[in-house]
Chain A
Amino acid sequence: MDKHKEELATLESIDSGAVYTLALKTHVGMSIDTFKYFAGWCDKIHGKTIPINHARPSRNLTYTRREPLGVCGIVTPWNYPLMMLAWKTASCLAAGNTVVLKPAQVTPLTSLKFGEFVVRAGFPAGVINIISGSGSVVGQGIADHEQVRKLGFTGSTPIGKTIMESCARSNLKKVSLELGGKSPLIIFNDCDLDKAVRMAMSSVFFNKGENCIAAGRLFVEEEIHDKFLDRVVTEVKKMKIGNPLDRSTDHGPQNHRAHLEKLIEYCQIGVDQGATLVMGGKQVDIPGLYMEPTVFTDVEDHMFIAKEESFGPVMVISKFKNGDTEDVVRRANDTEFGLASGVFTNDVSKALWVADHIDAGTVFVNTYNKTDVAAPFGGFKQSGFGKDLGEEAMNEYLKTKAVTIEY
């Protein structure tokens, strides 16, 4: 993968619209790091020996074995086609399973190219299998299959629910789900404002907003709201929009037409419900599926755009009363999602308090999007369950057998 990273990044850029520089560094770069990280775990998966009570006069030795589940299905989404494959497949393989992969129908190319590398790396035949196709046929087929013992899925919450039902109904196969999010980013008046603006930009516009942990709502403390908004507007205007293969592009096209159309509709609802559209909200007037980076403010908690995930480059800003930490955290938690979150403050006690009280699988403090192959990643509530990355990810792909010997 490392030898062919430019080719992989180009393919990813063409197929998903990812900006090439990001595709190289993150889509492909992090995929390689993920495999490298889990390669190190393969021979370090330990069971235990456990001192149980003896059946006297005999003695007992109990030990646990951590065993692979068997045949695993992995169904991946279109926003980071190769990286989502890497996040799930690496831990699945480290645990010793075999896998049937289905990449998203709209972005199959890097996953298929990956298949070629699998052969060249020397994996035995049958360990990794890749089937391109639709969710309703191939994905459903894997979810229903009687011999698949586990399905790992990244995608939307509604589809996640269908998959979970199929897993149960078929053969009670294990399932892990990484689903949607409406991750709150809280910016206090005692933050480093420059950094907060930069990170807020990244939290919303990274990968043209097609990012499961994108900050779906920003809560900005009243006192700094206007200053914050001004700076964001200035930064957005600097974004270079264009051909993702161009090395100087910041913002590429959305992934596919249907998604772009949904985004335009999303913004229209925002306007209709009375949020203030500061900039954007429409398609860019050039060929291709380009959406203008969009900023809304004065968004109230009951509004559609305050509750629903856009999965696009739409910044949704709400104010909160100066000093009312408890209430802003209450509002941030008032969602059925719980994937990620962020807080910007220089006050150590406030930072730790917020981190304790936010109901999300990841909390970023004075940063955002800082995922790492070693840090477990996954949601709370209807953002899903089960972790990708980190040591914990392997738990999704192992089962524990206890052996008790009497002698």
Chain B
Amino acid sequence: MSDQEAMLFPEIKYTKIFINNEWHDSVSGKTFPTINPCTGEKICDVQEGDKADIDKAVKAARDAFALDAPWRTMDASQRGNLMVKLCELMERDKVYLASLETLDNGKPYLDSLGDLQMTIDCIKYYAGYADKIHGKTIPMDGDFFSYTKLHPVGVCGQIIPWNYPLMMVAWKWGPALACGNTIIMKPAEQTPLTALYCAALSVEAGFPPGVINIVPGYGPTAGAALAEHMDVDKIAFTGSTEVGQLVMMAAAKSNMKRVTFEMGGKSPNIIFDDADLDEAVTWAHAAIMNNHGQNCCAGSRTYVQEGIYDEFVKRSAKMAAERVVGDPYDKKTQQGPQVDQEMFDKVMKYCNIGKEEGATCQAGGERWGNVGYFVKPTVFSDVTDDMRIAREEIFGPVQTILKFKTLEEVIEKANSSKYGLAAGVHTRDINKAFTVAQSLQAGSMWVNCYDCISSQTPFGGFKQSGHGRELGEEGLKEYYEVKTVTIKVPKKIS
């Protein structure tokens, strides 16, 4: 069977809480449903973790982090070997995993396969770093020998979202495991299934018990318990800015646990009139439409210079109208359903707000079909910076196109957002390209492209879009603590 052929009814194998390499029912006995967004129907029930389950998981992770535990005493290179083995197993089961991802999240099967490849690449990248985490020796003043050693932070809570379930597992596990930490992960309640399957693979790969633990459940219960826990050393959260603030406060109030955040965005994508128009239209379309717009770094404010504005809007509207919406298992489909009722309602709400605010709806702006959470790819033109659809994150396939005259003007407008996750600029001119790249407050700046991320490039937000970086060498920094060791010597020489 070619890997292009999905499993239409992947068997659901793992629905319980994963602690110490074993599967547990919830302490409370409660379960929650996970829904198929194509149909609105339940896929299965999953054990619902809460504070008591988090407590069990934290204990397991803490024990696995003890100084004499296998995970602490094994060679760093061996951590890397286990991670490589995990990648091999994901590769082996990729049709199943990608099919399961599409079932739970609704994204096209080919997108799930692509996400899975990035997942594997990310873990493999960090596997290569496991034995390359270097401290330094330092020429300090005085008769001392001083060096730094980079220790794992310890027990790490990781709360991940539903928009890229598999990839978010990799972005979190990769650097955490490379540095030697132990993990309690709370996957999104909308999409727990692929994370649980990866947990099963981690057992097969040979990870010691307690190194990886997964507690499915809800944010206000399981997520909060993790953020507030007195014996968790660090919390990493990807999700909305509003919830991120709650996590940060809980971390501070409890035990000053270390924090990293990847949150929302309203990223500007700037098109100058000297850009290649077709290329720019295509990149800008993908920037907002990829993953049904459910992308933290989506290019959700498209600024187009006045000279090409009308033609740009026309071509973008056509592209949106031609975007194929439908069954995500169909290879021709480019866009599946939004992930759940709540997200669907949010997109519909903003489509109405856009119309009420006076923007021109050039395409879409309404539901697609009458089953599940599908929306039509939507384009608004004549959008101005004061409109809510230009300021607030919609998290859907809604392109907003704004007009600008000058470089200085668009830089100021692009930067006037509480967010700062990403940005794009399309221009042939070297001076504009580097000036814009230098001037924008954005963690990822794309020039003549958009959304181009790979394991090697650090990703994260300025301002209220985030705190810390994932991917690249920088991603490791969030997962180690620096210890400085200073030894008295009789007399130093340089």
B314 at the interface (CB under 8 A from A): no
A1-47 residues at the B interface, CB under 8 angstroms: 33, 36-37, 39-44, 46
A59 at the interface (CB under 8 A from B): yes
Residues of B within 8 A of A373 (CB): 77
Task: Tell me which of A66-74, A78-86, A138-146, A352-360 binds B.
Answer: A352-360
Secondary structure at the B interface, as helix, strand, loop or mixed, is mixed
B127 at the interface (CB under 8 A from A): yes
Given the known interface contacts A352-B489, A405-B434, the answer about A44 and B473 at a Cβ–Cβ threshold of 8 Å is yes
Task: From the candidates A33, A44, A405, name the one contacting B77 in the complex (CB within 8 A).
Answer: A33
In the complex, are the beta carbons of B489 and A356 less than 8 A apart? yes
Task: From the candidates B80, B487, B491, name the one contacting A40 in the complex (CB within 8 A).
Answer: B80
B173 at the interface (CB under 8 A from A): no
A377 vs chain B, min Cβ distance (A): 16
The 8 A CB mask of B142-159 against A (1 = contact, 0 = none) is 000100000000000000
Taking CB as reference atom, which chain A residue is nearest B145?
A352
B438 vs chain A, min Cβ distance (A): 7
Task: From the candidates B125, B131, B455, name the one contacting A37 in the complex (CB within 8 A).
Answer: B131
In the complex, are the beta carbons of A348 and B131 less than 8 A apart? no
B9-39 residues at the A interface, CB under 8 angstroms: none
B134 at the interface (CB under 8 A from A): yes
B456 at the interface (CB under 8 A from A): yes
Residues of A within 8 A of B431 (CB): 407
Q: What's the tally of chain A residues with a CB closer than 8 Å to chain B?
A: 23
Residues of A within 8 A of B125 (CB): 43
Taking CB as reference atom, which chain B residue is nearest A43?
B456
In the complex, are the beta carbons of B128 and A39 less than 8 A apart? yes
The 8 A CB mask of B371-392 against A (1 = contact, 0 = none) is 0000000000000000000000
The 8 A CB mask of B386-402 against A (1 = contact, 0 = none) is 00000000000000000
Residues of A within 8 A of B488 (CB): 349
In the complex, are the beta carbons of B134 and A391 less than 8 A apart? yes
For the complex, give the distance between the alpha carbons of A33 and B80 in Å. 12
B493 at the interface (CB under 8 A from A): yes
For the complex, give the distance between the alpha carbons of A144 and B317 in Å. 64
Task: From the candidates A36, A44, A405, name the one contacting B129 in the complex (CB within 8 A).
Answer: A44
Residues of A within 8 A of B131 (CB): 37, 40, 374
Taking CB as reference atom, which chain A residue is nearest B431?
A407
B352 vs chain A, min Cβ distance (A): 43
A19 vs chain B, min Cβ distance (A): 25
A52 at the interface (CB under 8 A from B): no
In the complex, are the beta carbons of B473 and A46 less than 8 A apart? yes
Residues of B within 8 A of A39 (CB): 128
Task: From the candidates B130, B434, B455, name the one contacting A407 in the complex (CB within 8 A).
Answer: B434
A61 at the interface (CB under 8 A from B): yes
Given the known interface contacts A357-B493, A391-B134, the answer about A348 and B127 at a Cβ–Cβ threshold of 8 Å is no
B460-494 residues at the A interface, CB under 8 angstroms: 473, 487-493
The 8 A CB mask of B234-275 against A (1 = contact, 0 = none) is 000000000000000000000000000000000000000000
For the complex, give the distance between the alpha carbons of A292 and B489 in Å. 43
A108 vs chain B, min Cβ distance (A): 30
In the complex, are the beta carbons of B132 and A44 less than 8 A apart? yes
Task: From the candidates B456, B487, B490, name the one contacting A44 in the complex (CB within 8 A).
Answer: B456
In the complex, are the beta carbons of A61 and B473 less than 8 A apart? no
Residues of B within 8 A of A46 (CB): 473
In the complex, are the beta carbons of A40 and B489 less than 8 A apart? no
In the complex, are the beta carbons of B435 and A349 less than 8 A apart? no
For the complex, give the distance between the alpha carbons of A170 and B349 in Å. 74
A30 vs chain B, min Cβ distance (A): 12
In the complex, are the beta carbons of B145 and A40 less than 8 A apart? no
Residues of B within 8 A of A43 (CB): 125, 128, 455-456
In the complex, are the beta carbons of B456 and A356 less than 8 A apart? no
B430 at the interface (CB under 8 A from A): yes
* 22 contacts across the A-B interface (CB closer than 8 A): A37-B131, A40-B127, A40-B129, A40-B131, A40-B132, A41-B128, A43-B456, A44-B128, A59-B434, A349-B489, A352-B487, A352-B489, A353-B489, A353-B491, A356-B145, A374-B77, A391-B132, A391-B134, A405-B434, A407-B430, A407-B433, A407-B435
Interface pairs A-B: 3 shortest CB-CB: A40-B128, A407-B434, A407-B431
Name B residues whose Cβ lies closer than 8 Å to a Cβ of A: 77, 80, 125, 127-132, 134, 145, 430-431, 433-435, 438, 455-456, 473, 487-493
